[in-house]
Chain A
């Protein structure tokens, strides 16, 4: 009926949560824990959210509420290459929406989705602070500046080539 529960979270994360529980307000470590989980697995899966809730003893509904409140937390797996199109004011007036449109039609997915081969996902970001290079796109750690819709196929092609 009730027995030893097997978790899919890795031991060091479970240990970290156990450490948090020794603090005065364990629930205040929820965001830190979620950061750690997303850092390891790339996104917050339902099973991981549920496990965090059970180990930290914070209601699952609360954990899910926090995870969905912050844009930073991802609930779906991201592609190996995460395409982030800056939608800040400067990028936007210089045509970021059509750059975003080009990525969407080229990859055949919507914002927040991942291609079926697991290679690419697209998201829009707030201003990343390099307005002089607008419109700006980042793909993982690489930065692409002054991007036009016409360059999008080549950018994706080059990434695939180096994969």
Chain B
């Protein structure tokens, strides 16, 4: 490795060849302000906030996009450079709504933060502003182009990480706007509603559709029995809303908090994760026996389901017909639980707390409405929305005691808990499938080779002489790689797990945003690993670690569902998919 010697702010630095001025400056603690830059996406260099002075160059150079060279003399800060940066931010603000007070990103907006830090205290120009209507067409993601600063992070994440390519910059100059093709409403585009654009947006140009009001109304309504469920990934991240260290699992406090704001029953989506494993393993074993419909591809991630419907409809027969754990729990709440407790399902209001914005869309799918006309899931809130609600209600989250989920849908095995991490569904399915196929107890429960955070993992599992080829993909660009292999038939895969978001649900489009002050960015592998570890710690701390051994699962099959794959299971726990338009370009 060749090293480059340069001088930054009168300090001698030696960094690997190919590093940028920004990386070299960071290494000596000379933090250069930045805006369009994102460490896990390609370099953009459009905002110019990271401008620095390099000896010999007339103009300031962008530190994020300029490679450091031998002998370079760089000045990262001076009164003039600060003024330039401030002026650039002022120009952005002059074309930005004055809505900070009511904006969802208030206090955690990169533009607001920079503006404050660089000393912008008033607006200089009051001329024409770009005007665009807010795009509310999509039930998951709201696009507000007036708040957009054209950093293209959303465009980059949508193409570089997700391979969806839904967004691009349209027109030019003052008319430039980021939209889907043909400026179509988000709902009529190939958007898969994963919400990664929300996570990387420095402002609130992309934000989830706010459903907190309908939930407040339901909580206020004395005639409603308001049931809530929380997904596996929530407990690994919600504490971040109160600066509880990353990777702390706060299951008990989350349950307590949900009771404090008035939910009548608090169920665990991990319970139906176990149920998913029962149904999916049954489906998998059937397919292994018949040799048809292989590989089986998991169906828990609604972003992935949207992706396969728009981009790979030819592979729909391979996708498991199992509803997602969220939909299974919602359906059972309005059938099994309603019957058991003598409630009219119409009086039950079902709320799901999800790390995901695509879940909002999933809940609204026609397939997930009861025949009587009501939805099984009435409202989906992201982890962020729940944090807003709890703060609005004054819940002192860090000091809450631990409480347990309600019965009968509150007990989960460790296999259900790890659903929130990439590889988790695969591992849970293997634990159960292995034992159901062989009839023997599995020796080593932990399939560590599918756990890694990497976007694409493959393994061959020996089930008593039968070699099962499995693959795990997270981030849809990685999924494309494996799906192309499946289509070409290069290798016979048996089971594939796909999660739309990089790292799995723990890094979903609805998870807490890192605080802008800390220079931690969404997609940060270290944060994702800590959240994953929180789930694996819950799993390893349990004695109940296999879905099929969960007593609550046994109970529900005894009382209601008969057995995996039964007629009633099919009716309540399985679904179907359709090719969707517009077709995506792979």
Q: Do they bind each other?
A: yes
User: Could you tell me if A2 and B171 are in contact, using CB atoms closer than 8 angstroms?
Assistant: no
The answer, yes or no, to whether A133 is at the interface (CB within 8 Å) is: no
User: Could you tell me if A61 and B314 are in contact, using CB atoms closer than 8 angstroms?
Assistant: no
User: Could you tell me if B171 and A68 are in contact, using CB atoms closer than 8 angstroms?
Assistant: yes
User: Could you tell me if A62 and B582 are in contact, using CB atoms closer than 8 angstroms?
Assistant: no
**Given known A-B contacts A2-B579, A50-B582, A64-B182, A59 and B168 have beta carbons under 8 A apart:** yes
The answer, yes or no, to whether A20 is at the interface (CB within 8 Å) is: no
Number of interface residues of A (CB under 8 A): 18
The answer, yes or no, to whether A102 is at the interface (CB within 8 Å) is: no
The answer, yes or no, to whether B159 is at the interface (CB within 8 Å) is: yes
The answer, yes or no, to whether A106 is at the interface (CB within 8 Å) is: no
- CB-nearest residue of chain B relative to A58? B585
User: Could you tell me if B180 and A61 are in contact, using CB atoms closer than 8 angstroms?
Assistant: yes
CA distance A69 to B313 in the complex (A): 32
The answer, yes or no, to whether A100 is at the interface (CB within 8 Å) is: no
Residue among A1, A49, A57, A69 making CB contact with B171, cutoff 8 Å:
A69
- CB-nearest residue of chain A relative to B189? A61
- Interface positions, chain B 157-192, Cβ under 8 Å from A, are 159, 165-172, 179-183, 189-190
Residues of B within 8 A of A49 (CB): 181-182
User: Could you tell me if B181 and A60 are in contact, using CB atoms closer than 8 angstroms?
Assistant: yes
Min Cβ gap A111→B in Å is 14
User: Chain B binding site: helix, strand, loop or mixed by DSSP?
Assistant: mixed
- CB-nearest residue of chain B relative to A2? B314
Highest count of chain B CB atoms <10 Å: which of A54, A57, A61, A69? A61
Number of interface residues of B (CB under 8 A): 24
The 6 closest A-B pairs by CB, nearest first: A59-B165, A65-B168, A61-B168, A60-B181, A61-B181, A64-B181
Min Cβ gap B580→A in Å is 11
Residues of A within 8 A of B165 (CB): 59-62
Residues of B within 8 A of A90 (CB): none
The answer, yes or no, to whether B583 is at the interface (CB within 8 Å) is: yes
Give me 8 other A-B pairs in contact (C-beta within 8 A), A59-B166, A61-B165 excluded.
A2-B314, A53-B181, A59-B168, A60-B182, A61-B179, A62-B165, A64-B181, A65-B170
Cβ proximity bits A35-63 to B, threshold 8 Å, 1 near / 0 not: 00000000000100110011001111111
CA distance A50 to B582 in the complex (A): 10
The answer, yes or no, to whether B567 is at the interface (CB within 8 Å) is: no
User: Could you tell me if A53 and B579 are in contact, using CB atoms closer than 8 angstroms?
Assistant: no
The chain A residues found within 8 Å of chain B, CB to CB, are 1-2, 46, 49-50, 53-54, 57-65, 68-69
Min Cβ gap B552→A in Å is 39
CA distance A149 to B254 in the complex (A): 74
- Interface positions, chain B 305-322, Cβ under 8 Å from A, are 313-314, 316
Min Cβ gap A37→B in Å is 15
Min Cβ gap B180→A in Å is 6
CA distance A57 to B585 in the complex (A): 6
Min Cβ gap B494→A in Å is 23
CA distance A1 to B313 in the complex (A): 7
Residue among A46, A58, A61, A68 making CB contact with B166, cutoff 8 Å:
A61
The answer, yes or no, to whether B31 is at the interface (CB within 8 Å) is: no
Residues of B within 8 A of A57 (CB): 585-586
Residue among B180, B181, B314, B579 making CB contact with A63, cutoff 8 Å:
B181
CA distance A46 to B182 in the complex (A): 7
User: Could you tell me if A64 and B170 are in contact, using CB atoms closer than 8 angstroms?
Assistant: yes
CA distance A57 to B583 in the complex (A): 12
User: Could you tell me if A59 and B585 are in contact, using CB atoms closer than 8 angstroms?
Assistant: yes
Min Cβ gap B155→A in Å is 8
User: Could you tell me if A53 and B585 are in contact, using CB atoms closer than 8 angstroms?
Assistant: yes
User: Could you tell me if A54 and B579 are in contact, using CB atoms closer than 8 angstroms?
Assistant: no
- Interface positions, chain B 529-586, Cβ under 8 Å from A, are 579, 582-583, 585-586
CA distance A58 to B585 in the complex (A): 7
User: Could you tell me if A54 and B181 are in contact, using CB atoms closer than 8 angstroms?
Assistant: no
- CB-nearest residue of chain A relative to B583? A54
Residues of B within 8 A of A1 (CB): 313-314, 316, 579
11 CB < 8 A contacts A-B:
A49-B182, A59-B181, A61-B179, A61-B180, A62-B165, A62-B168, A64-B170, A64-B182, A64-B183, A68-B170, A69-B169
